[in-house]
Amino acid sequence: MKSGILNRQYTALIVPIGVNIMLAVSLNLVTGFLGELSLGHACFMSIGAYTGALISTSMELPSYAEFFLALIAGGVMAAVFGFLIGVPVLRLHGDYLAIVTLAFGEIVKSILNALPFTNGSKGLSKIPMYSNYQHYTLVFILVILTIVIITNLVKSRHGRAICSLRDNYIASESIGIPVSRFKVLAFVIGAFFAGIAGVVYAHNVGIIKPTTFDYNKSIEILVIVVLGGMGSIKGSIIAAVILTVLPEMLRGADDYRMLLYSIVLIVMMLFNNSEVKERLLEMNLFKRHQKEVD
Amino acid sequence: MAMLKVTDLKVYYGVIQAIKGISFEVNQGEVIALIGANGAGKTTILHTVTGLIPPKTGKIEFEGKDITKLQGHKIVSLGMAHVPEGRRVFASLTVLENLKLGAYTRKDKEEINASLEMVYKRFPRLEERKSQLAGTLSGGEQQMLAMGRALMSKPRILLMDEPSMGLSPIYVNEIFDIIKQVSAEGTTVLLVEQNAKKALDIADRAYVLETGNIALEGKASDLMNNESVKKAYLGE
Amino acid sequence: MLTNIIEQLLNGLRTGSIYALIALGYTMVYGIAKMINFAHGDIIMVGAYALYVAIINMQLPAIPAVLLTCVTCAVLGVGIEKVAYKPLRKAPPLAVLITAIGVSYFLQSASLLIFGATPIPFKSIIDVPAIKLGSVTVSGLTLVTLLVTTVCMIALTLFINKTKAGSAMRAVSEDKGAASLMGINVNRTISMTFAIGSFLAAVAGILYICQYQSLRPTLGALPGIKAFVAAVLGGIGSVPGAMIGGILLGIIESISKAYISTELADAIVFGVLVVVLLVKPSGLMGKNSTEKV
Amino acid sequence: MALLEVNGLGISFGGLRAVDDFTIRIEKGMLYGLIGPNGAGKTTVFNMLTGVYRPNNGTIKLDGENLVGKNPAQICQTGVARTFQNIRLFKKMSVLDNVKVALHNETKYSLWTSMFRLPGYFKKEKEMDQRALDILAVFGLDGQAQVMASNLPYGQQRKLEIARALATNPKLLLLDEPAAGMNPNETAELMETIKLVRDKFDVTILLIEHDMKLVAGICEYLTVLNFGTELASGTPDVVLHDPAVVTAYLGE
Amino acid sequence: GSKEEGSKPAEDSKPAADDAAADASDADANAAPAAGENTFVIGGLGPLTGSAASYGNSVKQGAEIAIKEINDAGGVKVGDTTYQLVLNFKDDEASEETVVPAYQSLMDDGINALLGTVTSGAGLAITDLTLQDGILQITPSGSAIACIENDNAFRICFTDPLQGQAMAEYMVDKKGLKKIAVIYNTSDEYSTGIKDKFEEVVAEKGGEIVASEAFQKDDVDFSAQLTKIKSTDAEAIFVPAYYNDAAYITAQANDMGMSLPFFGSDGWDGVLAAVTDPAFVEGAIFLSPFLASDDSAKDFTTAYEAAYSATPDQFAADGYDTVYVMKAAMEKAGSIESADLIAAMDGLTVDGLTGAMTFDKSGEPNKGAKFIEIKEGQYAYTAD
Ligand SMILES: Nc1ncnc2c1ncn2[C@@H]1O[C@H](COP(=O)(O)OP(=O)(O)OP(=O)(O)O)[C@@H](O)[C@H]1O
Ligand SMILES: Nc1ncnc2c1ncn2[C@@H]1O[C@H](COP(=O)(O)OP(=O)(O)OP(=O)(O)O)[C@@H](O)[C@H]1O
Ligand SMILES: [Mg+2]
Ligand SMILES: [Mg+2]
């Protein structure tokens, strides 16, 4: 509790920031690198969260073993769902695919609401707090792992194949890239890390409900990815931090909080794509920018 | 007075300078050829003239009017047509709809129909395919459509970016005949061509572009006999 | 039993015709400006409040109030486009999507500040008697909504396909640069798209609150998403598709609530959507992509 | 046995018979030209050969292996690579990466190696870099390796597309109007490059082209397509003087 | 100024209070009120934005009325000190995620007791935190059982199952209804909580649930569910939901010409203001401990209407009562230390707007259920 520089309000944000980074980086793989708009990322998160929570609430293992198991199971289960969603992915793209991801998210939400062991709309509560701010080292490690693995992947032969699909899938096919396999792969890996993020989320908040993971949550993650820049992992990280902290910074504004938040969001998007920013980049940051593009 | 006058034009893509201070003129009734290697900046010049890219500095005048800062659609409605590089037909519209859009700035229904007949006569393939979606035309058919679409506006000046690209030899000849005809009917022509020989054949004057600068200019017949032009662009 | 089925179909038709109306405006902006306008649902909400202000606060008679509402929304739509979307013309489409989400939040929180969170009841301004067909009654409002939706659909189809302005819109949607080479004023065309789209949203907003008779700042969110789904189901950019998609969505929803499970109705509706798209990847009325290799 | 054997190939779009009863045999190592008027169906033939379109009838055999029914990626792995009439590069990727993607099936390492940078990663990546640079060098593009593909001028983009196709190590290379948009000098240079490619990479080449200088200059055998059917075929000096070809295609 | 022993915030429970006061002073002038001399800060948590915003706002406004009343009357006298009450209310968006930093920022600001949360879900996410901080927590309207499981937590409203039980008993025993249809919100734990118990008790009593129809958050069209019920032989419809849902349901039932009697849960309070025609809800009966038009609530209603130009609903009354319960606890404890306040809650009796309630260790407010019937467009307590 004696957290030094940070007060309690901001200490409470450490884990949510980590969760959002994991979510944004994993969604970036699908949206930024594969180039497919996904409106169902929260669905994978919910699969992970529920799987993890069911494990840690029903088992009697030492806490670290239990949490480790929850993480793996949550990630794997989400990846399995990523694979299932991958099937329509083979036939669809663009906005049609986006709507299917949204549909899957809503279907999973409805089913979680109806299954007997997920406790309906009351959700699961009393989930042990294995990943709250007192265990931020653990969360930190998971976040770093996510970032490193996805960054590595993107800069490999598999990652290049994924990026090529974004740029021109007809050309990708023509040079022998098994298009379907890589589309599914991106979804599966993205889902896996979203699942892990879900497990961390569940064990930080202690209660999960189906409504937490509706399309608004997916859109929140998407906002982070796009604001940070599609295909920029560094951008996702920075945007995750900004967008998690911002609402809390606006607390003082009371009634005007959401209004200000929306204005800041619009202004940031406009600035991000404006000539002013281009000028700034041209002036001194040009070299670095160029690297990012490559 | 020159019909189209470009003075000290400089154009940038981000930090890359594509056009490095170019001046040229096109007079009423002339056919002007613009030739140069890949990436010399020919397309960029045409795009700047019709307002698709804003210039950094310089002045563009059309019939005495400063059009440098004018929006693209206003420039076009002054009587300029542009056959863009890469054809850029409206893929999900039919051939006929594409042609009608070419006449967007015109109001006279009768005359539009007359123009349509004229285009069909020049490119019978377009009439055969008038209800096919433009995106499914073959490359050469699309090129004809782009050309026909530009003619539909009855321009006073016609800017063409590699109109012969992707056309079969028979149609290449056809296209140059059409350019000659159009010119004979009083339309001024600014022609960008890789096929420098054919272009110089029909042009009155020409400019040779090298990496954003004008390297040579003069009467087409003179340039045709210029040794360096022969070597660099005519493949002799 | 048969009466029951017919009644449930009519229920579906009622919600469906509202989805359809919203989807028309959605598909309009979506097909032409090539952006998912997440704020469309919130323009419906603004329309609903505008009507409320016109009728209750300004005491206007119904027709001027409706006109005022439509004009307000059209102006708002154009304004939003100018301020929030136009600067992003060259940005990737997803950037505009996010700005649209920002605009949606903005409109919701602004109306929360102005009108408060408590739902405001509002009495329908449309009073058309119900029609009795044998043992079933069709409410007057459903008929009006269907009629309005059909008229809008036909008008919009004719406008887009048969008029010069319509083909200019389609040209702009494909290639703004080439469109400007035709002498088309790209900015004005896009403004017009938003004006029409928002006008349709206003109409939808009016019928929506006449139907459901209650106002709150978040009222546009769910219909907005449903309309998006309907537009995709029908085929992006296809006007008749939007109408069919909307009505179908309403009917599937009501049938699955009635005969399968109210609890899983959403899952079923979305399941049907997924299946339809798997069978017909470009929606019911969507054109297959015209990209030629 | 010929490398490519196509028999009775045909396809329709709606009511339009775009290609009808198309038959061709290409021997290994040949430089073969496919010419014909606009809209004759040349690109469509390429699309059928590479699995983009599925023919309504006919057979395609590469080295005796059937290609009909395979998807484009499988066909590429069987040994057919192509370029496109309207250039299709990975625009947001660097020139080097454009070629490295195409090495996907040539130099392999596992997904785990990718994610965790296991030792094999650096070695294989280095190999790929080297191979890609070698190919780029043939086209004089090695100096531009780090440039984003969309920033290349048109002519170089065409070359990059050929380089990318070659990186898949094809037996048969299909080029759709490689000289379009090039001036005579550039075309002459391209002709040299194509010949060089054929010899150096040991591929068979089938190309579509409207530039008769190129066609006459490098093609060893020609087939002329008109309205989807074969009009003539033979060596260039015969075909290009065939009166039917002259009226339908060459003019004058 | 000197601080008296008893008035010092509990050292262990609010270690950050002093730092927070310092923090607050270098923030801008309008920053949240801090714990300080002779003020007792009540932290509030509830949704002020989003689709549940109306509940949070009602609670906040009700609490503000109470605080103004108390302060105007001189404040709360604890021992020798008189405290002015201050409300520091933060938006939790009814989200389990947002509520945590919101709560922590309250603790940064420094609070003496917590009024909240308004919704159950968010409340569950902070129960352990408030327990660790050892602070008195009273939720005005968090009705899930688990909200007050910890020793430091109490509530003003009924629990969900209790309501379900009370309504089942009322409908079956008092009204003699045997065949009942239910419409509930499947995505809301309040609604499902009541419905589960209700159906259980009805069955025990020999009644029959002839239809149990779900709807989702933000749904506005209930015609499919109603049509389904129409084709059963239901004698009444029970709708455990909030008043805005009830308004849609009753209006649409009316449209369809249905005349079955409606019964509701306490969320129905406010339904009259939400329908366009009171006839839609005529005869409906719901459980509510609060009635704005009742004589007992007259002063409150007048003050509330003057301040917010709206009729107070049950949430507002809950908020109001929460403040008075806190006041009573302070006075009884004779101290404002959290531990003392919590201890004082046991056995505390307060006669509030929502009825006379007595607290015990469990945290539940033992109070009688009252039923309201809508008659001639007015709410009225039922005779029984
Ligand atoms: N959108 C762009 N972004 C960055 N650089 C560009 C862009 N378009 C063109 N360039 C660069 O500007 C220069 C001039 O290009 P331009 O297209 O005008 O040449 P061109 O003479 O028309 O060549 P070509 O014969 O290939 O059509 C080239 O170096 C090109 O790489
Ligand atoms: N997907 C399609 N739908 C409809 N028609 C098509 C389609 N693809 C091609 N066509 C038509 O088939 C014919 C052959 O087209 P193709 O592209 O093969 O011609 P091409 O010989 O390559 O011509 P060019 O030299 O002009 O590129 C054309 O008339 C074209 O309009
Ligand atoms: Mg060019
Ligand atoms: Mg072709």
Rounded (10°) CA dihedral C170, C174, C176, C182: -60
pLDDT confidence of residue A281: 64
pLDDT confidence of residue A131: 84
Contact D42 CB / ligand 2 (< 6 Å):
yes
Mutational pocket test of ligand 1: of B9, B10, B13, the residue with most ligand atoms within 8 Å of the beta carbon = B13
Over range D155-173, report the average pLDDT: 94
The answer for A 250-279 residues in CB contact with B (under 8 A) is: 278
Contact B40 CB / ligand 1 (< 6 Å):
yes
Pick from E49, E215, E248: which is nearest to C214 by CB? E248
Instruction: State whether ipTM is beyond 0.90.
Output: no
Distance CA B233, CA B35 (A): 8
pLDDT per residue as tens digits for the range A157-199: 999 999 999 999 899 999 999 998 999 999 999 999 999 999 9
| pLDDT confidence band for A2 (50 / 70 / 90) | very low
pLDDT confidence of residue D104: 94
Whether residue E89 has pLDDT greater than 90:
yes
pLDDT confidence of residue A290: 44
Distance CA C84, CA C89 (A): 10
Mutational pocket test of ligand 2: of B125, B128, B137, B143, the residue with most ligand atoms within 8 Å of the beta carbon = B137
Tell me the residue type at C265: A
Whether residue E13 has pLDDT greater than 50:
no
pLDDT confidence of residue A282: 61
Q: Are E322 and E115 in contact (CB under 8 A)?
A: yes
Contact B163 CB / ligand 1 (< 6 Å):
no
C8 at the E interface (CB within 8 A)?
yes
Query: How many whole angstroms from B136 Cα to the centroid of ligand 2?
Result: 7
Tell me the residue type at C208: Y
CB contact under 8 A, A259 and C109: yes
Q: Assess whether chains C and A touch, using the rule of 3 or more C-beta pairs within 8 angstroms.
A: yes
| pLDDT confidence band for A291 (50 / 70 / 90) | very low
D33 at the B interface (CB within 8 A)?
no
Whether residue A80 has pLDDT greater than 90:
yes
| pLDDT confidence band for A121 (50 / 70 / 90) | confident
CB contact under 8 A, E274 and C214: yes
Q: How many CB pairs below 8 Å do chains A and B form together?
A: 4
Helix, coil or strand: residue E40: strand
Contact D153 CB / ligand 1 (< 6 Å):
yes
Give me chain C's average pLDDT, please.
90
Q: Are E370 and E157 in contact (CB under 8 A)?
A: no
pLDDT confidence of residue A5: 59
Distant-in-sequence, close-in-space partners of C277: CB < 8 Å, separation ≥ 6: A88, A91, A92, A96, A99, A100, C232, C233, C283
Distance CA E361, CA E111 (A): 23
Q: Which domains does chain D have, with CATH numbers?
A: 1-79+170-252 (3.40.50.300), 89-168 (no CATH)
Rounded (10°) CA dihedral D108, D113, D118, D119: 0
Pick from D37, D154, D185: which is nearest to B170 by CB? D37
Alpha-carbon distance C212 to nearest alpha carbon in chain E (angstroms): 7
Which of B21-30, B165-174, E41-50, E163-172 has the weakest average pLDDT? B165-174
Rounded (10°) CA dihedral B114, B118, B124, B129: -40
Q: Are C228 and C42 in contact (CB under 8 A)?
A: no
Tell me the residue type at C211: Q
Distance CA D240, CA D230 (A): 14
In sign, the C-alpha dihedral spanning C153, C156, C161, C163 is positive
* A124 φ/ψ angles, rounded to the nearest 5 degrees: -100, 130
pLDDT per residue as tens digits for the range B120-173: 998 999 999 999 999 889 888 999 999 999 999 999 999 999 998 888 998 898
Pick from D180, D186, D248: which is nearest to B165 by CB? D180
pLDDT confidence of residue E54: 87
Q: Are A243 and A21 in contact (CB under 8 A)?
A: no
Query: How many whole angstroms from C22 Cα to the centroid of ligand 3?
Result: 44
Of E55 and A289, which is predicted with more confidence?
E55
Chain A residues with CB inside 8 Å of B14's CB?
A: 278, 282
Helix, coil or strand: residue A92: coil
- Respond yes or no on whether the N-terminal peptide bond of residue E117 is cis (omega within 30° of 0): yes
Whether residue E159 has pLDDT greater than 70:
yes
pLDDT per residue as tens digits for the range C188-244: 999 999 999 999 999 999 999 999 999 999 999 888 888 889 998 998 888 999 999
| pLDDT confidence band for E6 (50 / 70 / 90) | very low
Pick from B139, B144, B162: which is nearest to D85 by CB? B139
Query: How many whole angstroms from A113 Cα to the centroid of ligand 3?
Result: 59
pTM of the full predicted structure?
Answer: 0.90
Q: Are A16 and E97 in contact (CB under 8 A)?
A: yes
First to last CA, chain E: 56
Query: How many whole angstroms from E266 Cα to the centroid of ligand 3?
Result: 73
Distance CA C243, CA C153 (A): 7
Q: What is the 3-state secondary structure (H, E, C) of B142-181?
A: HHHHHHHHHHCCCCCEEEEECCCCCCCHHHHHHHHHHHHH
Give me chain D's average pLDDT, please.
93
The ligand with the least distance to the CA atom of B139 is 2
pLDDT per residue as tens digits for the range C161-178: 999 999 999 999 999 999
Share of chain E above pLDDT 90, in %: 65
pLDDT per residue as tens digits for the range D54-68: 999 999 999 999 999
Contact D174 CB / ligand 2 (< 6 Å):
no
Whether residue E28 has pLDDT greater than 80:
no
* A58 φ/ψ angles, rounded to the nearest 5 degrees: -105, -10
Alpha-carbon distance C263 to nearest alpha carbon in chain A (angstroms): 7
* A228 φ/ψ angles, rounded to the nearest 5 degrees: -70, -20
Helix, coil or strand: residue E193: helix
User: Strand D172-176 vs strand D80-82: parallel, antiparallel, or unpaired?
Assistant: parallel
Query: How many whole angstroms from B212 Cα to the centroid of ligand 3?
Result: 12
| pLDDT confidence band for C291 (50 / 70 / 90) | low
Which of A53-57, E55-59, E290-294 has the weakest average pLDDT? E290-294
Query: How many whole angstroms from D177 Cα to the centroid of ligand 2?
Result: 14
pLDDT per residue as tens digits for the range C62-119: 999 999 999 999 999 999 999 999 998 888 878 888 899 999 999 999 999 999 888 8
pLDDT confidence of residue A293: 38
Q: Which of A171-209 are b and which e, b meaning 16 or more Cβ less than 10 Å from the residue's Cβ?
A: bbbbbbbbbbebbbbbbbbbbbbbbbbbbbbbbbbbbbb
Nearest CA in chain B to D37: B168
pLDDT confidence of residue E24: 38
